[in-house]
Amino acid sequence: MAHVTRIKVRGYHLDLYGHVNNARYLEFLEEGRWSWVEERGDLAGFMKGGYGFSVVNININYRRPAFLGDELEILTSLKSLGNRSGVVRQVVRMAGTDTVVAEADVTFVVVSAKTGRAVPLEGEVRGLLAGLEADRSGEG
């Protein structure tokens, strides 16, 4: 089951055309991922272990514009988890509807704060991801 983060569109989210600027969706998606990890992941364990997440690729499809005052829901779930990277599936939709505003696949790696390099997703690190694995999207 996907984690849901709600965001209300504010004036500073808009571009010259009066709809949410495409770059703002990156911030909306990041807010959704942080909320998801805080609620379902072991953020304290990651910090204690000296690990962090690093986004290495984002693919976004924009489906329809969002405007001032719109209530959006960012649905976040784990799409896949490999040996070196994972993919988070995120869908931005109009709150309370099935109307998709944007959707994205976000590829991430786990990085060691000591080395600054990606680490394999096994052992301790895999255990820290267990709460997020429970949110499989069923895609991929």
Q: Is 40 inside a domain boundary?
A: yes
Number of C-alpha atoms within 13 angstroms, CB side, residue 9? 24
Q: Is 139 inside a domain boundary?
A: no
CATH value at residue 35: 3.10.129.10
Count of domains in the chain?
A: 1
Phi, psi for residue 87 in degrees, rounded to 5: -125, 125
Q: Is 105 inside a domain boundary?
A: yes
Q: Rounded to whole angstroms, how far apart are CA atoms 140 and 82?
A: 11
Which of the two residues, 3 and 134, has the higher pLDDT score? 3
Residues facing 112 on adjacent strands: 51
Model pLDDT, residue 140: 43
Answer yes or no: are the C-beta atoms of 28 and 103 closer than 8 Å.
no
- The pTM (predicted TM-score) of the whole model is 0.91
Q: Is 8 inside a domain boundary?
A: yes
Q: Is 140 inside a domain boundary?
A: no
Q: Is 83 inside a domain boundary?
A: yes
Q: Is 15 inside a domain boundary?
A: yes
Q: Supply the DSSP string of the chain, one letter for each residue.
A: --EEEEEE--GGGB-TTSBB-HHHHHHHHHHHHHHHHHHHS-HHHHHHHTEEEEEEEEEEEE-S--BTT-EEEEEEEEEEE-SS-EEEEEEEEETTS--EEEEEEEEEEEEETTT-SB--S-HHHHHHTHHHHTTB-S--
Residue-wise pLDDT tens digits, 88-133: 999 999 999 999 999 999 999 999 999 999 999 999 898 888 888 7
Q: Is 72 inside a domain boundary?
A: yes
Q: Rounded to whole angstroms, how far apart are CA atoms 75 and 5?
A: 7
Model confidence band, residue 135 (pLDDT cutoffs 50, 70, 90): low
Model confidence band, residue 87 (pLDDT cutoffs 50, 70, 90): very high
Range of the domain at 12: 3-133
Active site residues: 15
